[in-house]
Structure 1
Amino acid sequence: MKAMILAAGYGKRMRPLTDHTPKPLLQAGGKALIEYHIEALRDAGFASLVINSGWLGDTLAEALGDGSRYGIPIVWSHEGTPLETAGGIKRALPLLGDAPFALINGDIWTDYDVSRLLIECDDPVHLVLVDNPPHHPQGDFHLTDTARLRDNTDPRLTYAGIGRFDPALFAALPEGEAKLAPVLRQAMARDAASGEHHRGQWWDIGTPERLDELDRLLTQR
């Protein structure tokens, strides 16, 4: 299976750190955020990675290269202007192929076992959810006792930025900017979306303060 790491955002909330450094290259515990994902996906047995790039994309691609340094092939989907999540996936479809793929946000840190995404699933959408963090107390989606995802039902959990997707979900999207949420809600309306609740570590690195907190945690380990 292939995996895609989303790395095309501007990282505006992280300025001035991201004025000259792509957000996924910001370091915590002596390592770039995106390197934790690359190594975890490699160790789980994923065949190759697609990484999209936007803001400072040349800097990101130069730093990570073709993946030979990490022991897993990396191919690049350069967007120039970021296309949002679904738009970025649509642009990368020729690189992802026709089989389901794993997706992970490049600006999170987690101890989630990504090898779980290799397990075959009948649903075209499978999301990893986490407890609602203080900065997102309302959550995103409801997870039923039978692992089905629902919209507009409480209680809600937060989408972790980790999932498994069928590329056919994005095939009919027009080229250009497109958000992921409408795609997810359409799948939920068809009862075609499953999920799981990860109760371990998960960090959304949305502010310099959270990056500092994560750095202290990882440095102490």
Structure 2
Amino acid sequence: MKAMILAAGKGERMRPLTLTTPKPLLQAGGKTLIDYHIDRLRNAGFNELVINRAWLGEKLKAYLGDGRSRGVSIDWSDEPQPLETAGGIRHALPKLSNKDGWFLVVNGDVWCDFPFAEVPRPQTGVAHLILTGNPDHNPNGDFHLEDSGKVASTGGNMLTFSGISLLHQDLFSGAFGDEAKLAPLLRRAADAGLVWGSRHTGEWFDIGTPQRLEQLDRWLNNERSP
């Protein structure tokens, strides 16, 4: 199974840091955000990666190359302009295809200690979402996780989408614009009973602002201190 890291966004909320540096190359704990993902994916057996690029994409490719120095193979999905999450994934589908249609997707702007080797292998549906507790900046959550493991768009126990998911190519078979976000597709699929999920109770950071990047940097440095 292949894994895709979403790395094409402009990172507008991270400015001025992202005016000259693509968000995945920002550092926390002395390491770039995307290197954390690559290391965890490789250690979990995901050696074939697809990474999309648009904003400052030449810097991203110059930094990572073909991935061999990191023990992986990187296939780049070039976008003429950022296509948002769903648009970027659909654009990369020819590079992600395999016989069963499933692939892993990881947002490039999150940090998480989720063990990728333990990602569930769904037998039905079009998505399996990794959900986590609601942070202060998203107190109402995104999805409801039922006791059965199914995910609904509404419910009493709302959790936050971690940005980590196992997706099936059929999720992208419907009609939508070139620039489209993933969340509306997932909600429609959830309403149709086609989305499953599980909860991650470990560490998770959404790196959406410079302040949250600083928070992650402090946490990582403290965790590594004797």
State the superposition RMSD in angstroms: 1.3
| C-alpha separation in 2, matches of 1:139 and 1:125 | 18
Instruction: Indicate the larger mover: 117-126 or 141-150.
Output: 117-126
- The residue number in structure 2 matching 1:68 is 68
Partner of 1:112: 114
Task: Look up the match of 1:45.
Answer: 45
Q: How many residues align?
A: 221
Normalised by the length of structure 2, the TM-score is 0.94
SS, match of residue 86 in structure 2: helix
1:120 shift after superposition: 4.6
Residue type of the alignment partner of 1:165: L
Cα displacement (A) at 1:218: 1.2
1:117-141: per-residue Cα shift (whole Å, max 9, x none)? Answer: 2635433210001111000111101
Deviation sequence 1:48-78 (CA, Å, 0-9, x none): 0000111101111111111101101001111
- Give the stretch that moved more between structures: 181-190 or 116-125: 116-125
Write out aligned runs for 1:1-221 (5 A): 1-98=1-98, 99-117=101-119, 119-174=121-176, 176-220=178-222, 221=224
Percent of aligned positions that are identical: 52
1:36–1:122 distance in 2 versus 1, CA, 3 Å: same
The answer to whether the 8 A contact 1:52-1:78 is kept is: yes
Q: 1:60 and 1:2 mapped to 2: Cα distance?
A: 20
Q: Which runs of 5+ in 2 are unaligned?
A: none
TM-score, normalised with respect to structure 1: 0.96
**Whole-angstrom distance in 2 between the partners of 1:157 and 1:4:** 23
Distance in 1 (alpha carbons) for counterparts of 2:92 and 2:193: 26
Match of 1:5, SS state, is strand
- In 1, are the aligned partners of 2:55 and 2:81 still within 8 Å (CA)? yes
Whether the 8 Å CA contact 1:55–1:80 is kept in 2: the answer is no
Contact 1:109 1:205 in 2 (8 A): yes
CA contact (8 A) 1:91 1:175 kept: no
Q: What is the one-letter code of the residue matched to 2:24?
A: P
Per-residue CA deviation, residues 138-197 of structure 1 (Å, 9 max, x unaligned), is 110100111110112222100000000001211344561111122112221221110011
Q: Could you say what secondary structure the match of 1:51 adopts?
A: strand
Q: Name the CA shift for 1:218/1:40 in 2 (closer, same or farther; >3 Å).
A: same
Counterpart CA distance in 1 for 2:59 and 2:120 is 30
* Unmatched runs of 5 consecutive residues or more in structure 1: none
For the residue of structure 2 that corresponds to 1:76, the secondary structure is strand
Equivalent residue letter for 2:203: Q
AA matched with 2:14? M
SS in 2 for 1:91: helix
Cα offset, 1:214, TM superposition: 0.9
Give the direction of change, closer, same or farther, for the CA distance of 1:39–1:173 in structure 2 (3 Å limit).
Answer: farther
